[in-house]
């Protein structure tokens, strides 16, 4: 643990920061797997565009897990060591895909991003002006999560508009 680096944290318990970061760490691993498996099972119209998006997001979530783990270690903590613990420490949870159609998968992914945005917003609020290093880290991840939500929402809207146009042209 970096003694001088941790001395810049003001008004927060380091153990509390580690606790919320471990919850975010669990979320990132579950989000990684969610995107990974969704990209494998997805079916339907424009699935190739959705697969590309899901694979990119999986890569980003894995990078986020690495970033969060590094910060936990800098603070003198230990990232969750057992994947079973991800399910008991998660903020956002994990729901296995029930329907593999593109629209359902995108809806589920958007919900996940909304939760991630809420989680990282709360951590940013908690660490603002108290732990600049963690604040900067979560701000960077938050920006990615906002971008993910926007990308998924745009793809969802494109697909649903396309389907609606096809249905109306057949009527």
Which domains can be identified in the chain, with CATH numbers?
13-170 (1.20.1260.10)
What size, in residues, is the chain? 171
Residue with tokens 């991003």: 113
| pLDDT in 10s for each residue of the chain, 171 residues | 555 556 668 889 999 999 999 999 999 999 999 999 999 999 999 999 999 999 999 999 999 999 999 999 999 999 999 999 999 999 999 999 999 999 999 999 999 999 999 999 999 999 999 999 999 999 999 999 999 999 999 999 999 998 888 888 887
Report residue 89 CA to chain centroid gap.
14
In the block, which residue shows the tokens 């290093």?
A: 133
pLDDT of the residue at 2:
55
- Nearest CA among 68, 67, 76 for reference residue 14: 76
């Amino acid at each position: 643990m970096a003694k001088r680096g941790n001395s810049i944290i003001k008004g927060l318990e380091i153990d509390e920061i580690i606790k919320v970061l471990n919850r975010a760490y669990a979320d990132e691993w579950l989000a990684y797997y969610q995107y990974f498996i969704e990209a494998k099972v997805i079916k339907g119209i424009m699935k190739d565009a959705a697969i590309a998006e899901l694979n990119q997001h999986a890569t980003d979530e894995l990078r986020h897990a690495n970033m969060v783990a590094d910060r936990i270690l800098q603070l003198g903590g230990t990232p969750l060591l057992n994947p079973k613990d991800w399910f008991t420490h998660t903020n956002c949870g994990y729901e296995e895909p029930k329907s593999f159609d593109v629209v359902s998968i995108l809806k589920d992914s958007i919900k996940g991003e909304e939760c991630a945005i809420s989680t990282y917003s709360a951590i940013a609020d908690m660490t603002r002006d108290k732990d600049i290093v963690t604040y900067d880290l979560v701000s960077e991840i938050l920006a990615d999560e906002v971008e993910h939500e926007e990308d998924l929402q745009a793809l969802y809207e494109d697909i649903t508009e396309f389907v609606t146009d096809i249905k109306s042209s057949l009527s």
